[in-house]
């Protein structure tokens, strides 16, 4: 595969609904621009779910040996700092699951917002391209219970903060990429 070289590191945010093609788009974009030194940061915890573990194995196999995979459900900022010298591009998939992990560990809204700000500050100081993936959860109805509303609100706030800081924002619909923001390479 021929790679289209990127002149300087950039930040890209790919979001969309479940099964919209966001992860596939992000992986293909990274593979089209970077031949090696690619790091996939997985935030999913399979939690004794054999079907989910099988999905993870299939995704890892599909990415191939050119990717280094780091599984980290909580400490994204620390992982970015730790691996920054060994990679040219990070693909973080996904922020929505990361927020879920923080909520399940009883982080307060303020603590979650601080974690997000910390990750964005670390990204701003990296000399690597960063592609972030998240679900857009604000297109549906208002959830009937408090925890679901809290999750929706935190995910929406996070998406706004990430989109503001990224130079490219892509919204995926039915496998099609809609450019929301492009400040150029």
Q: What residues act catalytically? A: 59
> Dihedral (C-alpha) 37, 38, 44, 50: value to the nearest 10 degrees?
-90
Residue 50 burial (10 A CB sphere; 0-12, 13-18, 19+): exposed
Tokens of 2: 């021929």
Determine the length of the chain: 185
Return all residues near 139 (Cβ < 8 A) that are at least 6 apart: 17
What DSSP designation does 2 have? -
Cα gap 43→101, rounded to integer Å: 8
Number of CB atoms found within 10 A of residue 73's CB: 17
């Amino acid at each position: 595969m021929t790679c289209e070289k990127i002149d300087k590191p950039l930040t890209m945010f790919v979001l969309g609904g479940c099964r919209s093609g966001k992860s596939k788009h992000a992986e293909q974009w990274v593979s089209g621009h970077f031949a090696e030194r690619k790091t996939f940061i997985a935030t999913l915890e399979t939690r004794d779910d054999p079907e989910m573990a099988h999905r993870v194995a299939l995704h890892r196999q599909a990415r191939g040996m050119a990717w280094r995979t780091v599984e980290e459900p909580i400490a994204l900022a620390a992982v970015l700092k730790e691996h920054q010298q060994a990679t040219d591009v990070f693909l973080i998939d996904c922020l929505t699951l990361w927020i879920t992990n923080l909520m399940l560990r009883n982080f307060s809204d303020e603590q979650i917002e601080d974690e997000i700000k910390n990750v964005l500050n670390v990204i701003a100081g990296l000399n690597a391209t960063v592609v972030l993936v998240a679900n857009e959860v604000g297109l549906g109805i208002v959830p009937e219970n408090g925890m679901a509303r809290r999750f929706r609100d935190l995910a929406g706030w996070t998406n706004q903060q990430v989109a503001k800081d990224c130079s490219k924002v892509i919204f995926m619909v039915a496998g099609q990429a809609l450019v929301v923001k492009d400040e150029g390479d």
